[in-house]
Amino acid sequence: MPRKLTQLGRRVPLPRSPEDAKLEVVANPHPGSNYVVRFTAPEFTCLCPVTGQPDFAHLVIDCCPAKGLIESKSLKLFLSSFRNHAAFHEDTTLLIAKRVTAAIKPKYLRIAGYLYPRGGIPIDVFWQTGRLPPGVWLPDLEVEPYRGRG
């Protein structure tokens, strides 16, 4: 499962695309315990596939890990690689979720993508896989839907 870390503690360039990004895994020090790890990316950016203009989002990833954990610097670099990636919101959100899931095979994973308005319509995308183990507390997402300025 875990391999040698190639990004942590090193100066590495931003991956050119999500396909080039490496998600690295570290061993879960408590594989017999059920708990939730939350990653929040409030300044996520990608590109509109039609106009090429930037899209902005607030991502929340909740994970109940099994044997492995996503190494956070590799996740940061992976998410940053979307800066020049053009895709629809649904595709972007699910691509992130499925790559993380493939890398660590969690007991449960939920992603919420709160994307700011494009063409006047905010789009929120939610996806989950697996079952939350009994007795595990999953906090609310705590991200308000887009309400405009007023």
Point out the catalytic residue in the list 20, 46, 48, 62.
Answer: 48
Handedness of CA 56, 71, 20, 61 (dihedral sign): negative
* Amino acid found at 19: E
3-state class (DSSP) for residue 76: helix
Is 55 one of the catalytic residues?
yes
Strand order across the 54-64 sheet: 37-47, 54-64, 108-118, 121-130
- Other CB atoms within 10 A of residue 60 CB: 19
Catalytic residue among 46, 55, 62, 64: 55
20 is catalytic: no
Task: Report the SS3 class of residue 81.
Answer: helix
Catalytically active residues are: 48, 55
